[in-house]
Amino acid sequence: MKKIILFISFIAVMVMLAACGGTDINEKQASSKNAEKWNEIQEKGTIVAGTSGTLIAASTYDDNEELTGYDVEIMREVANRLGLDIKFEILGIDSMLPAIESGRIDVAVNDIEITDNRKEQFAFSEPYKYSYTTMVVREADNSGIKSLEDLEGKRAGGGATTIFSQIAEHFGAEVVTYGNAPNEAYLRDVHNGNTDVIVNDYYLSKFGVGAFPEFDIHLHPDLKFHPTEQAVVMDKDAETLQQKINETLSEMREDGTLSELAVKFYQEDASQKPEGEIEEIEGARLIRCDHKWEIFLM
């Protein structure tokens, strides 16, 4: 009996020691993992960035078929200041976050919005762009939309996992998805009536509409909602990389580079918060479910 009691006491002591030392071990493992991604990138000398190449002004191809845009040039400058080469992987928006998780890419830059729930899964840099959400509708009748509630029964073009599509879907729209299609496909469908609306970022929508003056489309004149912040996305544990990128973005903000690039591509300083009243979607909360972002009202 004494032997059994001694054995149980020994096990209890071992469990207590493990528990006491567990915090230190976990902290060391976390610290090692935090630095791992940055060390890996430094060893390669190259940072791999996912982007779509299909977003006018943010990530697109110029007349010489060179990849450019606000997000692209920001990431190029960040890599340059960090002494790294950069390689862009062209991906559909629905593939970018899974590509970070799998390690296929190091970061994603594609006008991706910061949300509290995304931050539970990924690390974000400080914002490099501030914006809000609006709608592209037919100019003749605003596609019959006067409010967010009028999205009920409409057909909204968008990516399956974007927050914009989730907002449209929440208010009753049927979301029509396109994969990694160019802006023209989305905009043409609103023009010809295949869809009714595109819920999207103000700046991207403005330039999309401006690029196709022959289409019967415009920005909704009355609806400005869901203020947004866009940033570089990376692995949740890549804290050293996050710190390096944040330091570089801070330098670029202070020396005017962010403002200069924003005005170049958007003709407005998208690196600063927009002025004016922007409607919040009451109680909106975005959560991740089966690799998809869904919006719920709390």
- Which CATH number characterizes residue 171's domain? 3.40.190.10
255 in a structural domain:
yes
Q: Is the pLDDT at 115 greater than 70, yes or no?
A: yes
Both 99 and 239 in a single domain? yes
Tell me the pLDDT of the chain averaged across its residues: 87
Q: Is the pLDDT at 10 greater than 70, yes or no?
A: no
Domain span at residue 215? Answer: 131-227
101 in a structural domain:
yes
Residue that finishes a domain, picked among 227, 250, 285: 227
23 in a structural domain:
no
- The residue-averaged pLDDT of 213-217 equals 97
Residue 20 is predicted with a pLDDT of: 47
Both 148 and 187 in a single domain? yes
98 in a structural domain:
yes
Residue 178 is predicted with a pLDDT of: 85
CA distance 132 to 135: 10
Both 94 and 121 in a single domain? yes
Question: Which residue type, as a one-letter code, is found at position 103?
Answer: G
Percent composition of the chain: helix, strand, coil (DSSP 3-state, to 5): 45, 25, 35
Beta-bridge mates of residue 200: 134
Residue 4 is predicted with a pLDDT of: 46
Sign of CA dihedral 69, 75, 76, 77: positive
CA distance 53 to 65: 10
Q: Pick the residue with more confidence: 161 or 110?
A: 110
Both 88 and 164 in a single domain? no
Question: Which residue type, as a one-letter code, is found at position 47?
Answer: I
Both 98 and 209 in a single domain? no
When divided into structural domains, the chain yields a total of 2
272 in a structural domain:
no
Give this prediction's pTM.
Answer: 0.76
Buried b (16+ CB within 10 A) or exposed e, 215-229: bebbbbeebbbbbbb
Residue 6 is predicted with a pLDDT of: 44
